[in-house]
Chains A and B, each alone.
Chain A
Amino acid sequence: MKLDFGKYRGIIVSVALFLLLDASVLLMNFYISFEISEDAVGVNLAGRQRMLSQRMMKSLLDLDAADSVEQRQLAMAELSQTVALFDNTLRAFASGGETLSAEGHGVMLGAVNSPAGRQALEEAKTLWLPFLQRLDPLIDRHSLGGDASYAARLHNAVAYGRANNLTLLRLMNALTVDLENVAASKAKRLRLIQTVGISLAVLNFFIIMFHFLRQLRESDSKIELARQETREILDTVNEGLFLLDRDQHIGSQYSHALLNILGQRELEGVAFAELLDGIVSDRDRNTAAGFIKLLFDPRKKQKLIGDLNPLRQVEVHIPQPDGSFANKHLSFGFSRVVIDGEIVHVLVTVQDISRQIKLADELEAAKVQGEEQLELLSTILQSNGDLLRHFLSNSFASFQKINGLLKQPAKTHQQYIDKANQIFALIHNYKGEAAALELHRFARQAHQFEELLDGLRRSAELSGNDFLGLVVHLNKLIAQTETIQGLVEKLGTLGLSGTSQVASSSATYAYPHWSLFAEQVAERQGKEVELLCSGFNDVPLPKTMEAALNTLTVQLIRNAISHGIETPEQRRLAQKPPRGEVDVRLLARADGSIQLSVEDDGDGIDRQAVIDTAVDRGLIDGAAAESLDSKAIMNLIFHPQLSTRSEVDEDAGRGVGMHAIREVVRELGGRVTIQSRRGRGTRFQLFFPAEINAVKSAA
């Protein structure tokens, strides 16, 4: 890491100053102590001068008082030594030079500079030079000792010495004191320098301390503030934020939201791959690792590799404490963090986009549903509200019956076939009603349902599992019927369409939809037909009866057109008007019983065709067919697998129509009769007892 000198300049200068001060004090200390030690030598030698002045005088007096040659020689030697040493030392003090130390080594002395010292030296010189002049001849003539001139010179020297000895001692003392004073002043200066130096160093130390402590504190608080801000951001931001290092490990700082999004507790140092483990597919996880590796490669352009991000929109499944999974859609974003041109981290942002995805899905679903509903809505708006409600309640009843049939346990193949046949009858009626109301979507679905059932009925071996597709289809039908019911209810509250409630009496009951239905069936089959209805508005009926009659009438009208009425061409050949007639009548008898008759002027029932079909389908064998009477032949018509139509279409062909009719009539406790004349037409008559009507109405 590069050191930022600018930031630390203050502290570096301060520390350097501190060291410089210490070094200066040390240097001064050396220098002055050296001077002081030199001064000490001076002081010592000055002290010796005092002593020498007295020894010199003593030797002189000894010489004067000497009785023997030995004594004289001793005194002379002493005198000569002391004089030489004194003189030499005095000169050295006066103008600098070498002298002998107490130990006899040569020692250099600097000239004394202090005024008092100089003065003492000048005075001493003034005294000393005449003294030396008097002493020198004594010492030189020493060998000549004993003559009169010698005695006179000695006397002269002693006299001078006596007269000036004390003055010389005083002067040497003054020199000593002066030199001592100089040394003391130097020591004092040294102390002062040390004190000042150390004080400055201490001051500097405190400056460093206070200044930098304050700076440290300030930067600490700045860091703390920045950290606090970062924390606040990370705690508040809604996205998951974290850094990945080159090894793809999560850094120590990450947003709080990340924990919530991923349902984790601790993420510091966790490998990114580990984070994704189990919540995304292995393929996505591996691609993500490769993608992040590319992001750390400075040669790759981020813009170019951005599209490779496999986690841009990813569905994750996060395990929950209860063992279940929370499903989320997440969006991971990756950006390089570049410092000084180097990619140091990859910043990862994680957004929970479940809501957006859900909204988009819902929007799409709503769009599809809206289109479906619009289609249904237009149908509803065109329908008679009352009829539609009938249809819906009938439908639910039928579905419930179908489900009830499914629920009934069955073991043998025949039981399953019976189940399929019964369901067929119900769904066939439903289909008829849907078609009559022009609810083509439902009619189509019922037709598909019939196809499934037909497949089942043809199976050689049936089991419960084979009905699975049927149940799924049933569920779909129920769901759609619920949708249309919801719409009808909504429209009812809006007062739209004919959906407002009417009294249960059918005084205003109208059947325009039958005419429409008849026309549609006829058109599909290339026929022309006129439907004549009468009696329906004259007979008061309970709702349930109305619904049943509607189902039956629709079925019979369809049968009459599909099986009875001929094409216009055939009718012309048979000398009939091209337009066929279907006459539908409802009668109430005095005893309260009801009679529904549906009569057509078509071709009538082809008994031989019925017998042939029954034999073909294996319903009866050829021998039995021979002995069938008219009633038995008519009975065959009600068999669930008989239809004389050669093709199966939306209107007929599976032979279930009559079977379905008889099932409904039987359920109501009624009976069916058929009258048919070949080439003239067919009349179906349905009789319902009064008590059934009464019981039903009471219910």
Chain B
Amino acid sequence: MTEETLQVFIDGVSRYFEHTKDNDLRVGTPYLADNCAPVSMDYTGLIGVSGSNKGCVYFTAPKAMLRHLILSLGEPDTSDENMVDLVGEVANTISGNARRELGKNFMISVPVVVSGAPGKIHLPTELRSYVVPTTWRSYNAAVVICLQH
């Protein structure tokens, strides 16, 4: 997996935040994480990738951030459903960006939103995933990329 590929996924998230009022999504230093203990917060929007690179990419964020984000988008309803929708939308933007940039070798599935315990995300344990911490306002979220080459 190349730096360029990773960048496409990170850009996907940044692209989503460009539409928010506070478009300053700050990208932290990426690091590696063992897949035995995947990074996961309250809500996770996950897209599966097949093709020459197999695996998944997900955006995970805490409730507080999503609530704030919903409000900043001018939507007063901060229900769980809306949070799920929002995370799904971020995942959708990631997948749209990846489709456009990476072409047909990356077959990307419809986003799935997982909420709650990190145990619900299963990643191939023999691989490490790239964790890209992001900060929006004072909230920490992350883009996690785990692709087999």
Contact = CB atoms under 8 A, between A and B. Distances in A.
Interface of A: 281, 315, 317, 320, 322-327, 403, 406-410, 416, 419, 463-465, 467-469, 471-472, 474-475, 478
Contacts of B10: 465, 468
Contacts of B31: 403, 406-407, 471
B133 interface: yes
Contacts, number: 80
A317 B50 contact: yes
A320 B50 CA distance: 11
25 contacts: A317-B50, A323-B109, A323-B112, A324-B50, A325-B48, A325-B50, A325-B107, A325-B109, A326-B50, A327-B50, A406-B31, A407-B29, A407-B31, A410-B29, A464-B26, A464-B133, A467-B29, A468-B6, A468-B30, A468-B132, A471-B30, A471-B31, A471-B32, A475-B32, A478-B32
Given A323-B109, A406-B29, A407-B29, 18 more contacts: A323-B110, A323-B112, A324-B50, A324-B109, A325-B51, A327-B51, A327-B54, A403-B31, A406-B31, A406-B32, A410-B29, A416-B29, A419-B29, A467-B30, A472-B3, A472-B130, A475-B1, A475-B32
A469 B3 contact: yes
Contact of A463 (B27, B32, B130): B27
Contacts of B1: 472, 475
Given A324-B48, A327-B50, A409-B28, A281 B2 contact: no
Interface size, B (range): 20 to 34
Contacts of A324: 48, 50, 109
Nearest to A324: B109
Contacts of A403: 31-32
Contacts of A465: 7, 10, 27, 30
Contacts of B3: 468-469, 472
Contacts of A320: 109
A326 B48 CA distance: 11
Interface string B92-133: 000000000000100101101000000000000000101111
Contacts of B7: 465, 468
A408 B6 CA distance: 20
A324, A469, A478 — most chain B CB neighbours (10 Å): A324
Contacts of A326: 50
Contacts of B112: 323
Contacts of B2: 472
A464 B112 CA distance: 28
A671 B28 CA distance: 34
Contacts of A410: 28-29
A445 to B, nearest CB: 15
A276 B29 CA distance: 43
Contacts of A474: 32
A427 to B, nearest CB: 15
A319 B76 CA distance: 36
Given A327-B107, A478-B128, A464 B48 contact: no
B133 A409 contact: yes
Interface in B50-68: 50-51, 54
